[in-house]
Amino acid sequence: MKKIACAPLRHLQTLEPYRTGTPIEWVERELGISNVIKLASNENPFGPSPRVFAALGKEMEKIRLYPEGGSPFLREALARALGVGLDRLVVGNGSNELLILLSRIFLQPNDRVLTSAQSFVVYEQAARLARAAFDTVPMVGHTYNLAAMASAIVARTKMIFIANPNNPTGTAVRPRALLDFMKRVPEGCLVVLDEAYREYMEDAFQPASVAWSRRFPNLVLARTFSKAYGLAGLRVGYLIAHPQITDVLHRVRDPFNVNRLAQTAALAALGDHAYLRRTVQSVLRERSRVSRRLSQSGCEVAASQANFIFFRCPEPGKLGPGKDLPVYLLQQGVIVRPFPNGWVRVTIGKAEENRRFLSNLMAWRQAGRSRREATK
Ligand X SMILES: Cc1ncc(COP(=O)(O)O)c(C=O)c1O
| Interface ranges with ligand X (CB under 6 A) | 42, 94-96, 120, 163, 167, 194, 196, 224, 226, 232, 237
Helices (H), 272-324: 273-296
Nearer to ligand X, 161 or 328 (CB): 161
Rounded Cα gap, residues 128 and 12, in angstroms:
8
Shortest gap between Cβ of 239 and ligand X (angstroms)?
A: 11
* Residue closer to ligand X, measured from CB, 94 or 368: 94
Least distance (Å) between residue 235 CB and ligand X: 6
Q: Which is nearer to ligand X, 121 or 140 (CB)?
A: 121
d(CA 100, CA 109): 15
Of the pair 156, 205, the CB lying nearest ligand X is at: 205
Q: Quick one: 175 or 318, whose CB is closer to ligand X?
A: 175
Parallel/antiparallel/unpaired status of strands 190-194 and 219-224: parallel
- Asked if 171 and 140 count as a contact pair (C-beta separation under 8 A), the reply is no
- In the complex, the smallest distance separating the C-beta of residue 115 from ligand X, rounded to whole angstroms, is 11
**Min. distance of Cβ 93 from ligand X in angstroms?**
8
User: What are the CA-CA distances from residue 335 to residues 107, 197, 230, 365 (Å)?
Assistant: 37, 20, 18, 17
Cα–Cα distance, 156 to 144 (Å, whole number):
21
Q: Whose Cβ is closer to ligand X: residue 111's or residue 194's?
A: 194
3-class DSSP assignment, residue 35: coil
Q: Least separation, in Å, of the C-beta of 358 and ligand X?
A: 23
Residue 136: which region, alpha, beta or left (left: phi > 0; alpha: psi -120 to 50)? beta
In whole angstroms, what is the distance from residue 106 CA to residue 113 CA? 10
Q: How far is the CB of 129 from ligand X (least distance, A)?
A: 15
d(CA 308, CA 299): 15
Residue number with CB closer to ligand X (227 or 365):
227
Q: Answer whether 264's CB lies under 8 Å from 62's CB.
A: no
CA dist 175 and 143 (Å) reads 13
As measured in angstroms, the least distance from the Cβ of 321 to ligand X is 31
When CB distances to ligand X are compared, the closest residue is: 94
